[in-house]
Structure 1
Amino acid sequence: MRSKRNQILAVPYVVWMAVFVVVPLLLIVVYAFTTKDGSFTLANFSTMNQYLGVFGNSFFLALVATAICILLGYPLAYFLARSGHRMKGVAMMLIMLPMWMNFLLRTYSWMSLLEDTGLINRLLQSIRFFDLWNGIFGTNIEFFHMINTPGAVVLGMVYNFLPFMVLPIFSVIEKIDSRVIEAAQDLGANSRRVFQKVVFPLSLPGVLSGITMVFIPSVSTFVITKLLGGGMTMMLGDLIEMQFLGAAYNPHLGSAISLVMMIVVLICMAVMNRFGEGEEEAMLL
């Protein structure tokens, strides 16, 4: 009886997934292997050769943003996991607070900060930093050009996706049994040794989850590149948007690019999940 009731309750979810997930994926597959007249073709995939640079640039910038998120997020997550209850509550609120605001609003705020006449450059001018810089290096600059650069795009990705790295790592480290750490200390391991042999291996599932949650939206973003990159840094998201909404309207090519990107992302996820399972099995042994 309960099983039948659960099946009935699951019907809206199944319908939702079918209409908004399965059907769009099937349409992408159909469009990727067809032409405008509906005939089968592989030309859409061969045409992607001219966009290999965009693929390389997208994965490179996404990897850089993910690496920076790890370097910033892991120490923060570790510190929060070892902090007191009150400190955790305040810190988690500060981490989650930007996520409660609109994504576009957060990105627009960085535009006002990074512009040539933005708040950062005006602050540096007010403290006469550029006078000191020009005196030391013999230059004649009046501002740092930060907007519409790959660095600005990476900064935007790190800012928007850093919480997705911190939260899974924090949740895993917080659940590590303190008795395991105490046992390692009783066996003579110092703090560095405990971290290397106990804490870090046990936190790898959280790290891998964070990598997945940061890398996937980073490699496919287009709003950040459009606003902070000014169209100067093209990534896969921008390329796909051009095929569906831009002047170079070609939904068949856009579907092929989307399909290849999904396959590559799924392969990366499978490799990371497999690596995580291997680490867990090694720790159990």
Structure 2
Amino acid sequence: MSTQLDDRTGVNLVPVSAAPRHTRAPGRFPWPWVAPALLVAALFTLGPLVVIVVFSFMSRPPQGGGVIYEFTLEPYVNFLFQTDFLGNTTFDPRYLSVFGDSLLQGAITTIVCLLLAFPIALWIATRPEKLQNVLVLLITIPFWTNLLVRTYAWMLILNDNGIVNSGLNLFGLPKLELLYTPMASQLGLIYTFLPFMVLPIYASLAGFDFRLAEAAYDLGARKSTVVRRIILPLATPGIVSGVLLVFMPAFGSYVQPVLLGGGKVLLIGNLIASQFGDSRNWPFGAALSVIILIVLMIALIAIALYSRKSGKKVEISL
């Protein structure tokens, strides 16, 4: 540590390189201050997941709901195999079929939302800045209303005396059976999760200087070429984020298949609810939940590997 001398008195002044022994970046708190908040966050986020995972390895009581704290793999075995009264175990594809139907439902919802959201997000990103704010506000307005209220509104639209059938009646056309069908369930999912696809794609395109696209037009590029080679690569992080934000909740959705689909198609969300409710088989319901978590974790790992390999930062946020 060096010191500085006064030329007139020769007295040592304050050390030049003296620095505080404990430095902390502005805005950072010591660990004891944030420990209670971290504990509460872990309790209410990781806590329920830990309970579900533990319950999935427990035994089912002879009567009623709940679990018996005896380790077993029977809930996971029952997902693929069935044991009859004689003790014979055979492959049972019923639950696997439900799992496949749920994957198909989530895939259809994701693809349709992507096809609708990309042109909407691109159009919003090319508007003046003040108009962009208004359009984004209109996209987010549905989030201000409870999901059940919006779903019941679709029930009023699609029922026999709803807006659609009333319009068909005006033109002398026969009524259509729209409510309590798989199509109604799919329509409700697309409506619910479309904003989750629009907003991430818009966020990726909002900062782009579209004069570069105009320059490509001036150089003779076609519109399809500009979209494929300039705009689409720029929107890729938003597309990936939107795909995850739509597919994950659509895969395990419960409200729309029950209220709009009438429960006619058994999906993984309905199956889990029935295991915790009607069947009172908590370990099997927990095992189904863990299987969904594993599928979603695989999807997240794939996205992380893609982000690392491509060098594009993908954020799963709106």
Pairing 1:236–2:260 present: no
Partner of 2:160: helix, strand, or coil? coil
1:34 aligns with 2:61: no
3-state SS of paired residue (1:5):
coil
Is it true that 1:97 corresponds to 2:121 in the alignment?
no
Q: 1:5-84 counterparts in 2 under 5 A?
A: 5-36=29-60, 37-49=68-80, 50-84=94-128
Q: What is the CA–CA distance in structure 1 between the aligned matches of 2:156 and 2:111, rounded to whole Å?
A: 26
Specify the structure having the higher radius of gyration (Cα). Answer: 2
Query: Partner letter of residue 299 of structure 2?
Result: C
Q: Which amino acid aligns with 1:111?
A: M
For the residues of structure 1 that align with 2:164 and 2:222, how far apart are their CA atoms?
43
Counterpart Cα distance in 2 of 1:164 and 1:10: 32
1:146-165 deviation line (CA, Å, top 9, x unaligned): 11111111111111110000
Change in 2 beyond 3 A, CA 1:172/1:23: same
1:150·1:233 contact (CA, 8 Å) conserved in 2? Answer: yes
Bigger Cα displacement from structure 2, 253-262 vs 171-180: 171-180
Query: Once the 2 structures are TM-superposed, how far is the Cα of residue 119 of structure 1 from its aligned partner?
Result: 2.0
Distance 2:185 2:225 in 1: 37
For 1:116, give the aligned amino acid: D
Query: How far apart are 1:277 and its partner, in Å?
Result: 4.0
Scaled by the length of structure 1, the TM-score of the pair is 0.87
Alignment gaps of 5+ in structure 1:
131-141
Please tell me the residue identity of whatever aligns with 2:199.
L
Structure 1 residues 124 and 17: CA distance shift in structure 2, 3 A: same
**2:200 aligns with one of 168, 184, 193:** 168
- Measured after TM superposition, the shift of residue 177 of structure 1 is 4.1
Report the CA distance between 1:260 and its aligned residue.
0.7
Residue by residue, what CA displacement relative to the aligned partner does 1:153-187 show, whole Å, maximum 9, x if unpaired? 11111111100000000010112244654664566
1 or 2, which has the higher helix percentage?
A: 1
Q: CA deviation at 1:193?
A: 1.7
| Cα distance in 1 for residues equivalent to 2:310 and 2:122 | 19
Give the structure-2-normalised TM-score.
Answer: 0.79
Q: Is the 8 A contact 1:202 1:280 kept in 2?
A: no
- 1:216 has 2:240 as partner: no
Question: Which piece of structure 1 moves more, 33-42 or 75-84?
Answer: 33-42
Q: Distance in 2 between matches of 1:9 and 1:196?
A: 50
- The Cα shift of 1:85 comes to 1.9
Aligned length: 268
2:257 equivalent in structure 1:
225
Give the distance between the partners of 2:55 and 2:139, measured in 1 at CA: 40
Structure 2 residue aligned with 1:204, among 236, 256, 268? 236
Q: Structure 1 pair 71/223, CA: closer, same or farther in 2 (3 Å)?
A: same
Match of 2:90 in 1: none
- Aligned partners of 1:121 and 1:188: how far apart in 2? 49
Corresponding residue for 1:151?
183
Equivalent AA in structure 1 for residue 51 of structure 2? L
Deviation at 1:251, TM superposition (A): 1.0
Kindly indicate whether residue 154 of structure 2 is the aligned counterpart of residue 110 of structure 1.
yes
Q: Which residue in the other structure is 2:295 paired with?
A: 264
Displacement after TM superposition at 1:201 (Å): 1.0
Please give the alpha-carbon distance, in whole angstroms, between the structure 1 residues aligned to 2:72 and 2:241.
37
* Structure 2 CA distance for partners of 1:177 and 1:145, relative to 1, 3 Å: same
Shift in CA distance, 144/182, structure 1 to aligned 2, threshold 3 Å: closer
Percent identity of equivalent pairs: 36
